[in-house]
Amino acid sequence: MAQPEQSSNQPPIQDVVLIVGGGPGISSSCARLFSENGMRVGVAVRNPAKSALENLEKTHGVRRYACDASEPADVETLFQNVVRDLGRPTLVVHNIDGRVPGIFGKRITEAEPDMVLDTVRNSAFSAFLIGQQAARLMIENTADANGAKGTIIFTNASAALKGFPSSGAFAMACHAKSGLAQSMARELMPLGIHVANVPIDAAIGWTQEDGTRAHRRAGKTVDDNMADPDCIAETYLQLHRQHRSTWAFEIVLRPWVESW
C-alpha cells in the first residue's frame, strides 16, 4: 500500500495477529497467509485439538489457544496470553459464525429460545468481547507507517445484509455484529484503529487434502462458484495494509455467479 507519510528509518513494526475461530476455511487461510507475510499468528478456538490447527502449528508455527469467546473471563485471559506469547496484537480477526446446529432452517414459530440466544451470544456478543479487548490494547499501540494502530476485522454473512425467512436467529446475530462493527468504526477510526465488517455473501469452500473442494454444506462442487477462503484472506491482508487516508469499512465479497 502507498505510504505517503513514512518518514522514519525505524524498522517496520512486527505484526501480531489473533484469529478467533479455527475452521478449515477462512481461519486457516488467514493463518497461513499472515504467517507467510511475516506476522506472528495466534488462533483462538473452543477446541484447539482440531486437525486444521494442528497442521498449521507444524507447518507455519501458528499458536493455538483454547477460548470460549462468549465468556468475558476467557476472552480476557486469551488476550493476556497472546500479549505474553506473541506481543501486542495489531490485527484481530473475528471469524465465528455462531449458529447452534439445531437452529438451521427453523421457522420463527419453531425456533427454541435457548438456541436463539446462544446463537446471538456466540456470534455478536463474542464479537463485542473480542473487539473490546482488541480496542483496549490497540489504543495504546504506536501507529505504523500507514498511520494505523491496528485493524479489527469482523467476518460476517449474507444474513447481515438481509434477514432471510426461517433464519431469524442468524439474522439477529449477523445484524447485531454489523451494528457493533459500525459503532466501533465510528468510535475507533479517528483514534487510529481500522475496523472492518466483511459479509461473505456466498457459500465458502476450501480445498481438501485430496485436492477436491469441500464446503460446509454438501452438494456444491463446482470450483470457483463458492468463495475461496484464500482469496478472502488476501482481502483481509489488503484491509490491514490500507493507508488511513482511505479506509474501507465494509466489503461484501461474493462469487461471480452469485445471485443478489
Binding to a second copy (CB under 8 A) within 153-172 occurs at 159-160, 162-169, 171-172
What Rg value do the Cα atoms of the chain yield, rounded?
A: 18
Instruction: Return the residues of window 217-256 that contact a second copy according to CB under 8 A.
Output: 223-228, 230-235, 238, 242-256
Smallest separation (angstroms) from a second copy to the CB of 150: 12
- Give the residue, chosen from 2, 10, 12, 221, that forms a contact with a second copy under the rule CB under 8 A: 2
- Using CB under 8 A as the binding rule, whether residue 179 contacts a second copy is answered as yes
Kindly tell me which of 17 and 200 has the beta carbon lying closer to a second copy. 200
What is the SS3 assignment for 154?
A: strand
CA-to-CA distance for 98 and 255, rounded, in angstroms?
23
- Give the residue, chosen from 8, 47, 109, 212, that forms a contact with a second copy under the rule CB under 8 A: 109
Residues 141 and 183: beta-carbon distance below 8 Å: no
Burial class (CB in 10 A: 0-12, 13-18, 19+), 88: middle
- Using CB under 8 A as the binding rule, whether residue 20 contacts a second copy is answered as no
Kindly tell me which of 96 and 174 has the beta carbon lying closer to a second copy. 174
CA-to-CA distance for 202 and 225, rounded, in angstroms?
9
Residues 100 and 118: beta-carbon distance below 8 Å: yes
Residues 227 and 255: beta-carbon distance below 8 Å: yes
Smallest separation (angstroms) from a second copy to the CB of 29: 8
Residues 31 and 2: beta-carbon distance below 8 Å: no
Site string for a second copy, 79-108 (x = CB under 8 A): ----------------------------xx
* Stretch of 42-50, 58-66, 91-99, 127-135 contacting a second copy, by CB under 8 A: 127-135
- Give the residue, chosen from 136, 142, 208, 221, that forms a contact with a second copy under the rule CB under 8 A: 136
Write the CB contacts of 25 (distance below 8 Å, at least 6 apart in sequence). Answer: 204, 205, 206, 216, 229
Instruction: Return the residues of window 45-84 that contact a second copy according to CB under 8 A.
Output: 72
Smallest separation (angstroms) from a second copy to the CB of 215: 12
What is the SS3 assignment for 157?
A: strand
First to last CA, the chain: 31
CA-to-CA distance for 53 and 61, rounded, in angstroms?
10
- Give the residue, chosen from 96, 128, 154, 155, that forms a contact with a second copy under the rule CB under 8 A: 128
Binding residues for a second copy, rule CB under 8 A, total 90
CA-to-CA distance for 13 and 22, rounded, in angstroms?
26
- Give the residue, chosen from 125, 130, 153, 154, that forms a contact with a second copy under the rule CB under 8 A: 125
- Give the residue, chosen from 103, 124, 130, 157, that forms a contact with a second copy under the rule CB under 8 A: 124
